[in-house]
Chain A
Amino acid sequence: QQQVKQSPQSLIVQKGGISIINCAYENTAFDYFPWYQQFPGKGPALLIAIRPDVSEKKEGRFTISFNKSAKQFSLHIMDSQPGDSATYFCAAIFQGAQKLVFGQGTRLTINP
């Protein structure tokens, strides 16, 4: 019940295309859903986050779509660039806690 399932495991997108990564969760006690970007040899860095009372949040080329009834959320990267090539993790956190539950990660490659 504490799992967050992420797909796909890897993704290749052409430069300028849209990258879409999906996550699903079971536990409705989660109340905060961040996405992290990780480059090789680095720690995860917060990219964008959303709360379940909002259906969409956009920051620049990055958008989170949230479907509370389906318990799913996704990251969309518009106009994908080679510099976006990294591993992306979705995560979820319980209200009042700080323990992040991470998805398995998606290795994104943007071909020039």
Chain B
Amino acid sequence: NAGVMQNPRHLVRRRGQEARLRCSPMKGHSHVYWYRQLPEEGLKFMVYLQKENIIDESGMPKERFSAEFPKEGPSILRIQQVVRGDSAAYFCASSPSAREQAFFGQGTRLTVV
């Protein structure tokens, strides 16, 4: 039973490029959460999705960031026109329902150069 899978593990993008981060939840999990961790800081909630629906995006920056969790395939966090300040570790977590424990993936470390 594989855990939450995130890829790539490391991603380097030049300023202005697009970053696409993927998250495959654990088997049987239909709830996905994205968090961002800046260096030396705690994790900050970004967005909560169920299959084909965005439930809570209160932590998402208003511009350049978007997330989806299609009926088939992984959840995608997309960052358009990346800037240096987007450099961070992005973690995905999944749970089988809204009231059950969420498990975290190993994260994608985005570096913008």
Contacts and interface: CB of A to CB of B under 8 A. Distances in A.
A98 B43 contact: no
B106 interface: yes
A95 B56 CA distance: 15
Contacts of B56: 97, 99
Contacts of A44: 43, 91, 104
B4 interface: yes
Contact of A99 (B45, B105, B106): B45
B91 A43 contact: yes
Interface SS, A side? loop
Interface string B68-98: 0000000000000000000000010101001
Contact of B48 (A41, A42, A99, A104): A99
Contacts of B45: 99-101
Interface of A: 6, 36, 41-46, 89, 96-105
11 contacts: A43-B104, A44-B91, A46-B103, A89-B42, A97-B56, A98-B48, A98-B99, A99-B33, A104-B42, A105-B41, A105-B42
